[in-house]
Amino acid sequence: MKSSLEIRNIGWAKRSVPNMDGIHGCKLLGTLCFAQPTQCQFRQSGLTLLEIMITVVILSLGLLGLAGLQMTGLKNNRNAYYNTVAAQVGQDLAERIKADQTGAAGTGYDARSIDADKSKCAVSNPLFADRAACLAAALPGGQARVTKRTDTPKTFFVALRWTDLQLSGAKGWGADTAANPATTVCGEPVDNTSCYYTLIQP
């Protein structure tokens, strides 16, 4: 006696499956149908010219954005570097004023404006002005300024000015305010010029 599985197989064995226009052939083995591999009628034609052009445009925009970001980063890094140098120079000059109590009590450091001069770096046993001129040379168009506060004895502002082309013609500081006496300390505002200052009390 045949099993029910064999009976189902006999019932299906008489059916034929069309060739489906040559795309796929199929033979029945019981209830299972196996597709026969035939020639593929769908071929990849590759990228079209339009797709290539769109890809090039997108890639170009991405590279331009990356280049702009890199330039902005370089400018910011340079600006941060000059501010760091100015802070270090200001600290050095402030320590020298603190060490000279006699000069700080008098007028030795009042209203001093010292332009950068690299040749002063070779001076042995440099005076304050020589040291300031040497250190200010680390900044482009550097200048050191010392201003004594009239309302507080032995208190000074030490300022460093330098050329900053990133300002694009603007001024690096404005008129004096109660909290920021920038013009008194740094001098009259000048185009493309930045200023860093610190307050010291020997």
CA distance 109 to 128: 9
DSSP conformation class of 166 = G
According to the model, what pLDDT value does residue 68 have?
Answer: 79
Contacts of 13 (CB under 8 A, 6+ apart): 28, 30
According to the model, what pLDDT value does residue 192 have?
Answer: 93
Token readout for 9 is 């197989």
According to the model, what pLDDT value does residue 101 have?
Answer: 79
CA distance 126 to 138: 17
CA 149 to chain CA centroid, Å, is: 38
CA distance 187 to 181: 10
**Cβ proximity of 190 and 143 under 8 Å:** no
Domain assignments of the chain as residue spans, ordered by start: 86-200
> Residue 195, Cβ neighbours under 10 Å: how many?
22
> Residue 69, Cβ neighbours under 10 Å: how many?
10
List, in sequence order, every residue forming a beta bridge with 63; answer none if it has no partner: none
According to the model, what pLDDT value does residue 161 have?
Answer: 95
CA distance 122 to 102: 26
Which candidate, 126, 149, 164, places its Cα nearest to that of 198?
149
DSSP conformation class of 151 = S
pLDDT in tens, the chain (202 residues): 444 444 444 444 444 445 444 444 444 444 455 455 555 555 555 668 888 888 888 988 888 888 878 777 777 788 889 999 999 999 999 998 888 878 777 777 877 889 999 999 998 888 899 999 999 999 999 999 999 887 777 789 999 999 998 888 899 999 999 889 999 999 999 999 999 999 987 6
Token readout for 71 is 């330039």
Look up residue 174 and give its amino acid: G
pLDDT in tens, 16-70: 445 444 444 444 444 455 455 555 555 555 668 888 888 888 988 888 888 878 7
CA distance 194 to 166: 10
Which candidate, 189, 180, 139, 174, places its Cα nearest to that of 160?
139
Q: Locate all alpha helices (DSSP H) within the chain, ordered by sequence.
A: 4-13, 49-99, 101-105, 128-136, 182-186
**Cβ proximity of 97 and 200 under 8 Å:** yes
